[in-house]
Structure 1
Amino acid sequence: MMFPAMPPAVLQFFHASQKGDADSWAAAFAEDAHFHDPVGTPPLTGRPAIHDFTASVITSFRPFLGLTPVEAHTAGNSVAVAWRGAAITQDLRPVNWSGINVFELDGAGLIREAKAYFDRAVFQAQVNGH
């Protein structure tokens, strides 16, 4: 699948999610980055916390199929990306959700802040089989 044009770190974020590669996923972030996943929950702060979170997401599914960007819009160091997510639960139920992430990049081009906008209740209901 062809991804929309995005800065390298944002592209890495999505590729790593699809590969199930927590190391690469976290490496797209600056060392002191903030990740709000989703907005309204306490942010993950720092690359190690982001790594641990993404690793736990990947391993809680069988498999985690990742996030696929549908549209991307870049303005300076800000990038907004509409995406769709897919995964299979441990008991083999499909989970599909969608959202928009807004990324702020630092001077080195790494993600210094990411805000994920999606309906966590809809996501969780699918995970729980409701």
Structure 2
Amino acid sequence: MSVPAMPPAVLQFFQASQNGDADAWSGAFAEGARFHDPVGTPPLKGRAAIHDLVVSVLTSFSPFLGLTPTEAHTAGNSVAVTWHSAAITRDLRRVNWSGISVFELDDTGRIREARAYFDRAAFQAQVDGG
């Protein structure tokens, strides 16, 4: 499947998730960025907090197979991307989920705000084996 056209920082976000590169993944964000992961939970504030989340995700699975974008729609400095993801828990349970993320870019092209929409309860139930 081909990768949909996206601005460089958004493409970096997805490619770094697939490569398991926490520095590149969080580096797609502006220094003072906000990340709602998922929407409805308190947002993470700042690249360091986002980096910590990314590291915890990557180390919680073996392997984390990344987020795979399927469609992207850009309007000005906003990008909406549909995606799916998969991972294997450390005790060998498969976890599959999908969602939509909306990215707002700053004037330098980095992500200043990201909102992830996915069913956190369904995701957690898979992780927990329910």
- Report the alpha carbon displacement of residue 2 of structure 1 after superposing the two structures with TM: 2.0
Per-residue deviation, residues 64-94 of structure 1 (Å, max 9, x unmatched): 0010000000000000000001100000111
Name the structure 2 match of 1:66. Answer: 66
Name the structure 2 match of 1:98. Answer: 98
Do residues 81 (structure 1) and 105 (structure 2) align? no
State the superposition RMSD in angstroms: 0.5
- Report the alpha carbon displacement of residue 63 of structure 1 after superposing the two structures with TM: 0.6
Question: Which amino acid is 1:110 matched to?
Answer: R
Name the structure 2 match of 1:19. Answer: 19
Counterparts of 1:64 and 1:42, CA distance in 2: 24
Name the structure 1 match of 2:31. Answer: 31
Q: What is the identity percentage for the equivalent residue pairs of Structure 1 and Structure 2?
A: 77
Per-residue deviation, residues 8-58 of structure 1 (Å, max 9, x unmatched): 000000000001110000000000000000000010000000001001000
Counterparts of 1:39 and 1:127, CA distance in 2: 19
Counterparts of 1:125 and 1:80, CA distance in 2: 26
Moved over 2 A (4+): none
Q: Give the total of aligned pairs.
A: 130
TM, length-normalised to structure 2 = 0.99
Question: Which amino acid is 1:17 matched to?
Answer: S
Name the structure 2 match of 1:122. Answer: 122
Counterparts of 2:80 and 2:27, CA distance in 1: 19
Counterparts of 1:18 and 1:124, CA distance in 2: 20
TM, length-normalised to structure 1 = 0.99
Unpaired stretches in structure 1, ≥5 consecutive residues: none
Counterparts of 2:2 and 2:10, CA distance in 1: 14
